[in-house]
Amino acid sequence: MNSYLQSLIQQRQDADLYRTRLRHSGPQTPTLLIDGQAYLAFCSNDYLGLASDPRLKRALQDSVEHYAVGSGASHLITGHTEAHHDLENALAAYTQREKALLFSTGYMANIGVITALVGRQDAIFLDKLNHASLVDAAILSRAQLHRYPHNNLSTLARLLAKSTAPHKLIVTDGVFSMDGDIAPLPDLVELAKTHQAWLMVDDAHGLGVLGNTGGGILEHYALTAQDVPVLMGTLGKAFGVFGAFVAGSALLIEALIQSARSYIYTTALPPALAETVQTSLKLAKKDSWRRQRLQELIRYFRKAAAQHHIPLMDSFTPIQPIILGESQKALAVSAALYQQGILVTAIRPPTVPQGSARLRITLSALHEENQIDSLIKALVNVL
């Protein structure tokens, strides 16, 4: 086995696709401490800056005192506490849906809901830039898998029209995690209605960020639960904690409780985390200044980048990629930024398509203009 594993690793190294982990020793803030040195970080998904909020820390500490640490069992045995149930109710209210169901991670939520909804005789339609967990879920479901070019609705319409599957499921990211652009949801809603298909949205990067109250991509477009019956969201990005959920009708959630294997056969989230997320939801909704500040910083960054002829993609979200092409170049630029005290991750295939390796810059409501100035200056030096 060792020689085989070594050959796999060597292949990745030879192709400039070898992954490494940086270790930092402090809270999740715009400044990270690595090997005793402070780095400006522009690669976290802590969009609202809630991960280090003292109110969340206090909520976690208080909840640990009450519930202790582990949940001890799955939700269907003895792992489902009042904290979990209250959070599910809070998530349903936050997303304006009848019910919500907690999962341990976004990956597990996507696996659970898709494999519960469709099977071998059915068809699933995915945007080619959807998150890997959605692709894996589609493969595991054994449904007929159709992948359409990014946001290409004419191709999707043709695929839907040709399909004779008894059940059709369209699945899209709300905000595409590597490009930062958004799905044309109103058009997808109409396509789903025309072709009697179900529509599911993974809004991991939209919830908390988009919409006046942080309702995500659906609030941005003023869409309802009737338009998008299946909504997945995560709790470790804008909400700053951990976990994921699926929200929809009471019937959908009951079906998932009965059939979603990644919900049934795993230990429930620690109850203290569930209680902490309830505090986070309140802050995310109430602290509208966080979204306003984030949008100010996005505009500031994009204006400065344009002034220095730094090419950006069309994105008004906190995700601001710079396409560099080959993996070797992306790694070299990321390393050069690191030498200047700036942390921006190089994203390479298979996370993104071949020839589109990039820097994935992400902004937080806690960043300051002078920090963005430092990033721009460093980018000018290395690009």
CATH of the domain at 366: 3.90.1150.10
The verdict on residue 9 lying in a domain is: no
Which residues have CB under 8 Å from 189's CB, separation 6+? 199, 223, 227, 228
Give dist(CA 115, CA 195) in Å, integer: 21
Contact 305, 42 (CB under 8 A): no
The verdict on residue 166 lying in a domain is: yes
**pLDDT given for residue 26 in this prediction:** 87
The verdict on residue 203 lying in a domain is: yes
Nearest one of 297, 271, 339 to 86, comparing CA atoms: 271
* Token pair for 299: 């505009």
What's the predicted TM-score (pTM) here? Answer: 0.95
**pLDDT given for residue 288 in this prediction:** 95
Question: Both 298 and 337 in a single domain?
Answer: yes
Question: Both 303 and 271 in a single domain?
Answer: no
Question: Both 61 and 141 in a single domain?
Answer: yes
Residues of the chain under the 70 pLDDT cut: none
- Cis peptide leading into 350, omega within 30 of 0? yes
Residue pLDDT, tens place only, 222-280: 999 999 999 999 999 999 999 999 999 999 999 999 999 999 999 999 999 999 999 99
Matching residue, tokens 């490009």: 179
CA atoms within a 13 Å half-sphere pointing along the CA-CB vector of 18? 12
Contact 362, 44 (CB under 8 A): yes
Q: How many domains does the chain have?
A: 2
**pLDDT given for residue 375 in this prediction:** 98
Q: Where are the beta strands (DSSP E) in 185-270?
A: 198-202, 230-234, 244-248
Give dist(CA 83, CA 340) in Å, integer: 44
Does the active-site annotation cover 133? no
Does the active-site annotation cover 356? no
Range of the domain at 346: 22-48+288-382
Question: Both 122 and 83 in a single domain?
Answer: yes
Question: Both 76 and 201 in a single domain?
Answer: yes
Residue pLDDT, tens place only, 38-85: 999 999 999 999 999 999 999 999 999 999 999 999 999 999 999 999
Does the active-site annotation cover 177? yes
Question: Both 257 and 114 in a single domain?
Answer: yes
Give dist(CA 289, CA 27) in Å, integer: 22
**Residue 133 backbone phi and psi in degrees, to 5:** -65, -30
Q: Which of residues 254, 286, 318 is at a domain's end?
A: 286
Q: Which of 99, 205, 220, 367 is catalytic?
A: 205
Q: Which of 133, 163, 177, 327 is catalytic?
A: 177
| Rounded alpha-carbon distances, angstroms, from residue 143 to 37, 58, 135, 272 | 49, 45, 11, 37
The verdict on residue 327 lying in a domain is: yes
Nearest one of 309, 292, 308 to 373, comparing CA atoms: 308
Question: Both 86 and 42 in a single domain?
Answer: no
Question: Both 254 and 316 in a single domain?
Answer: no
Question: What is the domain-level CATH number for residue 206?
Answer: 3.40.640.10
Q: Which of 80, 84, 168, 237 is catalytic?
A: 237
The verdict on residue 4 lying in a domain is: no
